[in-house]
């Protein structure tokens, strides 16, 4: 599942560099764009609070916090939504 997220982010953010920041895989272009990580019960996506607010309706079925979204392993990954979030972060410069 992590490779699916990574492949999705690499496609969505072709000009971004992959780095480790905050001990997580991170996509960077002059500043951090988005992070992700694996946990016991979910994959965490860390796009920042503006994304969680902007995509509130589409994220209702997932647990969110100020700047994070949890995608449980028990559900299919919403890869098209993850791609859209990454592009929105990049295009609006709402980087985390």
**Domain architecture of the chain: domains with CATH:** 2-92 (3.90.1150.200)
Neighbours of 93 (CB within 10 A): 11
pLDDT in tens, the chain (96 residues): 999 999 999 999 999 999 999 899 999 999 999 999 999 999 999 999 999 999 999 999 999 999 999 999 999 999 999 999 999 999 987 655
Give CA–CA dist 69/48, Å, rounded: 9
Is 16 within 8 Å of 96 (Cβ atoms)?
A: no
Alpha-carbon span 14 to 49, nearest angstrom: 23
Residue linked to tokens 């002059």? 30
Structure tokens at 79: 């890869």
* Residue 82 phi, psi dihedral angles, 5° rounding: -60, -40
| Residue from 31, 32, 25 nearest 4 by CA | 25
Residue 17 three-state SS: strand
Whole-prediction pTM: 0.92
The pLDDT value recorded for residue 48 is 92
């Amino acid at each position: 599942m992590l490779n699916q997220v990574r492949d999705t982010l690499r496609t969505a953010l072709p000009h971004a560099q992959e780095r480790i920041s905050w001990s997580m895989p991170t996509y960077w272009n002059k500043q951090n764009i988005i992070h992700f990580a694996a946990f016991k019960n979910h994959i965490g996506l860390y796009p920042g609070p503006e994304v969680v607010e902007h995509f509130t309706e589409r994220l209702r079925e997932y647990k969110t916090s100020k700047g994070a979204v949890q995608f449980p392993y028990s559900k299919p990954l919403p890869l098209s939504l993850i791609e859209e979030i990454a592009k929105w972060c990049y295009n609006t410069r709402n980087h985390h």
